Structure 1
Amino acid sequence: MNYSEVAKQLIPLLGGRDNIVSAAHCATRLRLVLKDEKKAEQKAIENLEGVKGAFASSGQYQIIFGTGVVNKVYEAFVKETGLQNVSADAHQEAVKQKMNPVVRFAKTLSNIFVPIIPAIVASGLLMGLLGMMKVFKWVAPDSAWVVLLDMFSSAAFIILPILIGYSAAKEFGGNPFLGAVIGGIMTHPALLNPWGLAEAKPEYLDFLGFKVAMIGYQGTVIPVLLAVYVMSKIEKGLRKVVPHAIDLLVTPFVTVILTGFVTILVIGPLGNALGDGITTVLNFIYDNGGALAGLIFGGLYSMIVITGVHHSFHAIEAGLLAKLGVNYLLPIWSMANVAQGGAGLAVFLKAKRAKTKEVALPSALSAFLGITEPVIFGVNLKYRKPFIGAAIGGALGGAYVVFTNVVANAYGLTGIPMIAIVAPEGMQNLMNYLIGFAIAVGTAFITTLLLGFKEEESSTIIK
């Protein structure tokens, strides 16, 4: 493959150099910000050598090349367009400007919570190991193993506000270490740690006529997000007026003291109330809607993925883990994801064109590993009916996992990798997850074969 030639051919098909604002790439896709996405010649782009699909979503025009190819095309592309010096931050800012407010909000939450996923997954697996040691009595209940593993597994949730504080400050444009300090204030040892306590009764402090509950925010999500957002605004405002000579002394001091008081007196209690309200509503729907809730959520989730709003769900799932210790939403999302893979396999089996098969199989396998964008935009949505088949599969799989109360002890993993955070909750939980997996994939596969599709149908661009 001649990467330079592909790059040269891409430029006019994207509306010319003047229509290209910035470029970046992920593991499989070239990600572009275009002034006018309507100028992109969809069919011609998809027919280029090496291209496995193209779609517009969340402020970017994305061209699927695949692992190992996309980085080489990117190098040639930025050289041809002169975009080598456009920084990653500038690209992200350009992406945000192209998004509508709802998608921009969802992307912001995603940028905050995705970096925390490894810590949450590690804690979930450690909790599973600790649980098995207790259930199967591998060691005595008072063993040092139990004590230490309990420390290791709960640490991420106890210091969750610090982790979120650091990540959120980076996203909001504040100093990440000041964000961590705000998280530290909210989890200070002087405050009662309510994490894991059913009936936590704090002492009260009389401060300027206010009764301040001396209770911490370990394991919370919304209070620290609100606090760090306010902190970033205060910090950026101060940097505009404080002289550079004393900025290092004045700005951090005033930022921390102002944010600290506002957080303890106002933001913390309000954020807790908001978080409790969201959890209560979700629990009501889950408890009373039952399989119907799973049917609806599982069927509609892939439509939400198209809009990009699904990125915001990490915050809700983190809140569930903090309040309940389990995540009952992720199994539903997983059913929708693997159903897309099942529909993609049906397309691979039934397709006549070699290029369609070339895209469908790896995209379907990617969906089973939790990455659905290639199969959604490159295959199923392109031919429409496979997307409908996947929605039906996701709905039935979602109904089953809700009906059988399947839960996970972390967030961030779906499909096959999700087994790692489902298994620690018990063998029955794992078996029901695998049954739901089979229902979702099998239904999507069969439904897509029955519905059929026309390969010559035009591609769909999602704006």
Structure 2
Amino acid sequence: MAPENKNRATAAAILPLVGGARNIDSIAHCMTRLRLGLKDRTLVQDDALKALPAVMGVVEDDTYQIVLGPGTVARVAPEFEALVAEQPPQVASAPEELAARGAELKAARKAANATPFKLFLRKVANIFVPLIPALIGCGIIAGLNGLLVNLGWLPGVTPALAAIASGFMALIAVFVGYNTAKEFGGTPVLGGAVASIIVFAGVAKITVFGQTLAPGQGGVLGALGAALLAVYVERWCRRWVPEALDVLVTPTLTVLVSGLVTLYGLMFVAGEVSTGIGHGANWLLDNTGAFAGLVLGGLFLPLVMLGLHQALIPIHTTLIEQQGYTVLLPILAMAGAGQVGCAMAVYLRAKHNEPLRTTIKSALPAGFLGVGEPLIYGVSLPLGRPFVTACVGGAAGGAFVGLFSMLGDKVGSTAIGPSGWALFPLLQGSHGLGTTIAIYAGGLLVGYAVGFLATYYFGFTRATLTDLNTAPAPADAEAGEPTPVPAEPAQA
């Protein structure tokens, strides 16, 4: 089957299982997930969706998220959108009741699972997630260019590679401003226009608080703040400016007021905050690297579960702007290593649970590449204790990488998004590439090993192991009476 036919077939298989085109409110995708806004959650057939070969798992948040994996989701999403466009929504027999029921379910889900802080973090994540593909591409090119420069190869090509790798980062503030205004309900191009002031070379002629501004000062944090201010100024203008003058006055006042505040306040404040983040991250790893790595690696999976990991995205981006790489991501990636080790232990302990073992076999390749949702939601979290022991593995791997940071060997990533083995092409550090790769690989091995051992010996009670390894006996299969299979001893 041709790749495009395969992707369309996947989209066609998913569509009826989420209630058909009439049940779709919105369609988007990130690095690994197809994100759907649904009118009626009760129409979704979760089990049938999870059984599809291309589906690694499902996650319910503010949107219904189907985990397809990196690369695949970017190809399936357009096919899914095309199918929805080809099948206009059908008229329901009782449209008012259906709409009311869908609205009620949506409101109840939001009230139960969302807080203002989490909603704000989701908006922040939505600003940066669309930028990740460009960050990855430019990061890999930057790493390749650095390798060629160090080896002294292709001196006529390396300046071109440097320009290609650096162009996006030089203007990332504009993209952040555009996305911020779009996400918070303003005019996107006005957000981009205000944020572009930050990277304009002419700001070097402006003095604020006795200091001359530098192009790029404040970085993505300044751009985010400037565009957010522009949204509120624009809303104020829309409320008070007469309609006849709106097209002239509103954009002018929005850019002027937000621009002046950005130049004479936000750039300076955001610059100080950005510098503090860089110094703080370096101090933390230089002085408490092993402990900091243990805490960060151990708590990252719970942060993901609570949605709080989204707050780290601007921090990663700020570090990449300042230093060329983020030292936090390789440590946080160790959480995925603990998850993989945990899953391998569950596979061995659940010897007679074929459905669970099949899930693990299908999800492990993605887990090695840093896509952890299938293992989290399909294996460790439902089992309880293994989720905790997976965190222990992540803590051990994080402590390993953090220890080397204390010794002066920092390991960083030139982009955000990938983890696991997929992070290798993006690695960069304070010493040679070989040393950086060796430290990161060592952290992964420690995470795998500790996650495996902690889960194998401490991840199950006797009752849990008995339940996991219960299989129907041949004589009782029709009656549906299970027969326990002797399990290995486990600590209660």
Question: What TM-score, normalized by structure 1, do the two folds share?
Answer: 0.78
Equivalences for residues 162-201 of structure 1 within 5 A: 162-192=174-204
> Match of 2:343?
344
Judged with a 3 Å threshold, the aligned counterparts in structure 2 of structure 1 residues 144 and 248 are, in CA distance, closer, same or farther, namely farther
Letter of the structure 1 residue corresponding to residue 196 of structure 2: G
Deviations 1:398-418, CA, capped at 9 Å, x for gaps:
111122232222222111111
- Stretches of structure 2 that go unaligned for 5 or more consecutive residues are 1-11, 405-409, 469-492
Shift of residue 247, structure 1, vs aligned partner = 2.3
Deviations 1:257-316, CA, capped at 9 Å, x for gaps:
111111101111111122222333322222111111111111111111110111121110
Asked if the contact 1:159–1:218 (Cα under 8 Å) also holds between the matched residues in 2, the reply is: no
Shift of residue 28, structure 1, vs aligned partner = 6.0
Judged with a 3 Å threshold, the aligned counterparts in structure 2 of structure 1 residues 107 and 94 are, in CA distance, closer, same or farther, namely farther
Asked if the contact 1:337–1:370 (Cα under 8 Å) also holds between the matched residues in 2, the reply is: yes
> Match of 1:159?
171
Separation (CA, whole Å) in 2 of partners of 1:280 and 1:308:
26
> Match of 1:390?
390
Separation (CA, whole Å) in 2 of partners of 1:56 and 1:304:
15
Shift of residue 227, structure 1, vs aligned partner = 0.8
- Stretches of structure 1 that go unaligned for 5 or more consecutive residues are 11-19, 193-202, 458-463
Judged with a 3 Å threshold, the aligned counterparts in structure 2 of structure 1 residues 338 and 263 are, in CA distance, closer, same or farther, namely same
Shift of residue 228, structure 1, vs aligned partner = 0.7
Separation (CA, whole Å) in 2 of partners of 1:151 and 1:250:
38
Judged with a 3 Å threshold, the aligned counterparts in structure 2 of structure 1 residues 312 and 79 are, in CA distance, closer, same or farther, namely farther
SS of equivalent residue, structure 2 residue 186: coil
Shift of residue 322, structure 1, vs aligned partner = 1.7
Separation (CA, whole Å) in 2 of partners of 1:144 and 1:65:
41
> Match of 2:446?
439
Asked if the contact 1:341–1:366 (Cα under 8 Å) also holds between the matched residues in 2, the reply is: no
Asked if the contact 1:347–1:448 (Cα under 8 Å) also holds between the matched residues in 2, the reply is: yes
SS of equivalent residue, structure 1 residue 290: helix
Deviations 1:96-121, CA, capped at 9 Å, x for gaps:
76511222222122111111112222
Asked if the contact 1:296–1:395 (Cα under 8 Å) also holds between the matched residues in 2, the reply is: yes
Asked if the contact 1:7–1:80 (Cα under 8 Å) also holds between the matched residues in 2, the reply is: no
1:120 lines up with 2:132 in the alignment = no
SS of equivalent residue, structure 1 residue 407: strand
> Match of 1:198?
none
Asked if the contact 1:157–1:218 (Cα under 8 Å) also holds between the matched residues in 2, the reply is: no
> Match of 1:407?
412
Asked if the contact 1:58–1:308 (Cα under 8 Å) also holds between the matched residues in 2, the reply is: no
Greater relative contact order (Cα < 8 A, sep 6+)? 1
Separation (CA, whole Å) in 2 of partners of 1:284 and 1:129:
28
> Match of 1:101?
116
Shift of residue 366, structure 1, vs aligned partner = 2.2
Asked if the contact 1:46–1:54 (Cα under 8 Å) also holds between the matched residues in 2, the reply is: no
Tell me how large the CA RMSD over aligned residues is.
4.1
Separation (CA, whole Å) in 1 of partners of 2:136 and 2:49:
39
| Higher deviation after alignment, 417-426 or 157-166 | 417-426
Separation (CA, whole Å) in 2 of partners of 1:363 and 1:309:
24
> Match of 1:269?
268
> Match of 2:238?
239
> Match of 2:161?
149
Asked if the contact 1:103–1:308 (Cα under 8 Å) also holds between the matched residues in 2, the reply is: yes
Asked if the contact 1:57–1:306 (Cα under 8 Å) also holds between the matched residues in 2, the reply is: no
Equivalences for residues 15-414 of structure 1 within 5 A: 50=51, 58-59=61-62, 98-139=113-154, 143-192=155-204, 204-205=206-207, 213-217=212-216, 220-351=219-350, 352-404=352-404, 405-414=410-419
Judged with a 3 Å threshold, the aligned counterparts in structure 2 of structure 1 residues 92 and 364 are, in CA distance, closer, same or farther, namely farther
Shift of residue 317, structure 1, vs aligned partner = 0.6
Asked if the contact 1:161–1:218 (Cα under 8 Å) also holds between the matched residues in 2, the reply is: no
Percent of residue pairs bearing the same amino acid type: 28
Asked if the contact 1:392–1:444 (Cα under 8 Å) also holds between the matched residues in 2, the reply is: yes
Question: What TM-score, normalized by structure 2, do the two folds share?
Answer: 0.73
| Higher deviation after alignment, 344-353 or 329-338 | 344-353
SS of equivalent residue, structure 2 residue 227: helix
**Which one of 437, 440, 450 corresponds to residue 430 of structure 1?**
437
> Match of 1:13?
none
Shift of residue 429, structure 1, vs aligned partner = 0.4
Judged with a 3 Å threshold, the aligned counterparts in structure 2 of structure 1 residues 303 and 148 are, in CA distance, closer, same or farther, namely same
> Match of 2:4?
none
| Higher deviation after alignment, 49-58 or 251-260 | 49-58
Shift of residue 148, structure 1, vs aligned partner = 2.4
> Match of 2:482?
none
Asked if the contact 1:34–1:61 (Cα under 8 Å) also holds between the matched residues in 2, the reply is: no
Judged with a 3 Å threshold, the aligned counterparts in structure 2 of structure 1 residues 5 and 113 are, in CA distance, closer, same or farther, namely closer
Asked if the contact 1:422–1:429 (Cα under 8 Å) also holds between the matched residues in 2, the reply is: yes
SS of equivalent residue, structure 1 residue 190: helix
Give the aligned length.
Answer: 422
